Amino acid sequence: MARAVRDLTLRGGKRLRAVLVLIGYLASNQHGSFDPALDAGVAFELLQTYLLVHDDWMDGDERRRGGPSVPAMLREHHGSTRLGDAAAVLAGDFAAALSLDVLSRLDAPPERLIQALNLFAEMAFVLDHYPAVPAAAVVAMATLGGAGALGQERSFGSIDPGKQADLLVVSVPASLAHHQLYETIIHQGTKGAWQWLPHPATGCAWAKSAI
């Protein structure tokens, strides 16, 4: 399983997500080391592996990046469609766990990492335990809602001219349907598919990206 994940991750691809993470980091921090951005790019590539493995399993695709898909490799390895598909789901989850592990080890202030992880964990809790609450409302409560509770909604909590903000960019599939956007943002965030883009000002805003 681990070999299959490694094979797919290193097989090819444009590395576009990693490049965009690096560009975003350098745009906001031109004088510091870009090692954290490189590590974050690795995390995004591992997350992409997770998405590809589960996508190939769901769609029954046999080929990926010029070679066999991870589900196809594992079906052949186990000599069983059922066991191969089960192993493919675990392989995708393993790639997601590796991605989060890399992000948690970034050379970044621990309080920033904890802040982001807690934010997504709290949103996921609300989404799972209160299904009647729309995902868009959960995101709004975590951004504008918090600022409004402090009476500071005119100063931060959203991306608007004149407001103070740090940007938290979340990776979502480019082909995602609009009605799935907010729920996917929350679930992707819990898997570590995000990157801080710091700003000298204080506060916290929200950014969505299909990188």
**Domains observed in the chain:** 1-107 (1.10.600.10), 109-211 (no CATH)
202 has a pLDDT exceeding 50: no
Identify the top-confidence range among 12-26, 84-98, 184-198. 84-98
Q: Is 142 helix (H, G, I), strand (E, B) or coil?
A: helix
The pLDDT of residue 157 is: 67
Per-residue pLDDT, averaged over 113-133, amounts to 77
Q: How far apart are CA 208 and CA 171, in angstroms?
A: 7
Q: Strand 194-197: give its sheet, edge to edge.
A: 194-197, 167-171, 207-209
The pLDDT of residue 73 is: 94
> C-alpha 170: how far from its chain's center?
5
Contacts of 48 (CB under 8 A, 6+ apart): 13, 17
The pLDDT of residue 76 is: 93
- Beta carbons of 52 and 5 less than 8 angstroms apart: no
What burial letters (b/e) apply to 117-141, b meaning 16+ CB within 10 Å? Answer: bebbeebbebbeeeeeeebeebbbb
Worst-scoring range by mean pLDDT, 101-105, 111-115, 123-127, 128-132?
111-115
Structure-token match 């969505």, residue found: 208
- Beta carbons of 127 and 139 less than 8 angstroms apart: no
Q: With CA atoms as reference, report the closest residue to 187 among 141, 135, 145, 140.
A: 135
More confident residue, 187 or 203: 187
Confidence bin at 192 (pLDDT 50/70/90): low
124 has a pLDDT exceeding 90: no
